[in-house]
Amino acid sequence: MPPYKEQGIVLRSAKLGEADKIVTVMTQGAGKVRAVAKGIRKTTSRFGARLEPFTHVSLMLYRGRGSLDTITQAEIIAPHPNIRADLALFAAGETMLEAVDKVAQEHERNVRLTMLLLTGIRALDARPADSTAVAESFMLKLLSLSGFHPSLTACAVCGAADPQLFSAGLGGAVCNGCAESGVGPVSRAALAYLAELAQTDLGVAGSVAQPEMRVRKESRGLLYGFAEYHFERRMKSVPMLVRTTQ
The footprint of Zn ion (CB under 5 A) covers: 155, 157-158, 160, 175, 178
Contact status, residue 69 vs residue 28, Cβ threshold 8 Å: no
Nearest distance, CB of residue 171 and Zn ion, angstroms: 11
Q: Helices 131-145 & 111-125, crossing angle to 10 degrees?
A: 170
Nearer to Zn ion, 181 or 246 (CB): 181
Closer CB to Zn ion, residue 157 or residue 168?
157
173 or 215, CB closer to Zn ion?
Answer: 173
* Cα torsion 116, 166, 191, 91: sign: negative
Residue 170 beta carbon to Zn ion: minimum distance, rounded to whole angstroms = 9
CA distance 18 to 21: 9
| 97 versus 174: smaller Cβ distance to Zn ion | 174
- Strands of the sheet with 172-174, listed across from one edge: 172-174, 165-167, 184-185
In this complex, which beta carbon is closest to Zn ion, that of residue 61 or of residue 157?
A: 157
- Between strands 184-185 and 172-174, the pairing is unpaired
**What's the rounded Cα separation, in Å, for the pair 242 and 246?**
6
| Min separation Cβ 213 and Zn ion, Å | 30
CB of 194 to Zn ion, least distance (A): 18
- Cβ 173 to Zn ion shortest distance, Å: 9
